[in-house]
């Protein structure tokens, strides 16, 4: 099977910019470039095989959309695999230390 086409939603692109800036400010540009490269490599692997993680995490939203979560160091890549269109959509890249404690889910999504 061919690699899936990858689309980063605007939120995911903003997440990458924010992550890169935070790492660059704290650890310098080389470390930031390395960490972003690791995240982007993971997305490329997901395009080849969306079930790359040994323990895939999934969440079904009320609208029926199934979001998957892939762990990359301290970040979660939140993505949707649209198999019939051979398409992988990256919705967000979430910092598990900084962002997860602040995420709340609507009760109907639980």
CATH number, residue 91: 3.30.2310.20
106 occurs within a structural domain: no
Residue at 39 is within a domain? yes
How many structural domains are present in the chain? 1
107 part of a folded domain: no
Q: Is the pLDDT of residue 1 over 70?
A: no
Q: Is residue 82 part of a domain?
A: yes
Please report whether residue 15 resides in a domain.
yes
Tell me which residue has tokens 């079930």.
51
Do the beta carbons of residue 61 and residue 48 sit within 8 Å?
A: no
Determine the pLDDT at residue 97. Answer: 78
Specify the pLDDT at position 105. Answer: 46
Specify the pLDDT at position 64. 82
Q: Please give the Cα distance from 49 to 34 (Å, whole number).
A: 23
Res 54: pLDDT: 57
Q: Is the pLDDT of residue 4 over 70?
A: yes
29, 13 contact by CB (below 8 A) = no
Structure tokens, 54? 């040994």
Residue span of the structural domain in which 55 resides = 5-95
Residue 55 has pLDDT above 90, yes or no: no
Residue 17 forms part of a structural domain: yes
**Quick one: angle between helices 29-48 and 10-27, nearest 10?**
150
pTM of the predicted structure, to 2 decimals: 0.82
């Amino acid at each position: 099977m061919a690699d899936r086409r990858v689309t980063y939603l605007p939120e995911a692109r903003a997440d990458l910019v924010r992550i890169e800036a935070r790492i660059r400010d704290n650890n310098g540009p080389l470390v930031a470039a390395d960490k972003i490269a690791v995240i982007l490599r993971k997305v490329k692997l997901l395009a080849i095989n969306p079930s790359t993680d040994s323990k895939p995490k999934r969440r079904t939203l009320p609208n029926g959309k199934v979001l998957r979560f892939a762990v990359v160091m301290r970040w979660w890549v939140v993505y949707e695999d649209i198999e019939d269109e051979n398409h992988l959509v990256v919705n967000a890249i979430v910092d598990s230390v900084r962002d997860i404690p602040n995420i709340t889910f609507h009760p109907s999504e639980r």
